[in-house]
Amino acid sequence: MLASGVAHASLLRRESRQVRALKSFARDKGVIVVFISQIDRSYDPTVKPCPDLDDVRLPNPLDLSCSTRRAF
């Protein structure tokens, strides 16, 4: 189980580096990058009227705090 946790942390760091690099590129070039995501099936609109970051379906770990704007 420890090896799985280490691999997960390593993947998260790599993905975060890639997202930071993309963010830096977009800022430097003055472009807007748009990502479209799915909301996880466990989201229940009767419990919460609007989904939030906790409801975004992530097949791979990713630090969503890197984004500057979000729309649901």
Domain ranges of the chain: 2-66
Let me know if 15 is exposed, middle or buried by CB neighbors in 10 A (0-12, 13-18, 19+): middle
User: How high is the pLDDT of residue 6?
Assistant: 65
pTM above 0.85, yes or no: no
- CA dist 20 and 44 (Å) reads 31
Low-confidence ranges of the chain (pLDDT < 70): 1-9, 11-12
**What is the DSSP track for 22-49?**
HHHHHHHHT-------PBPTT--TTT-S
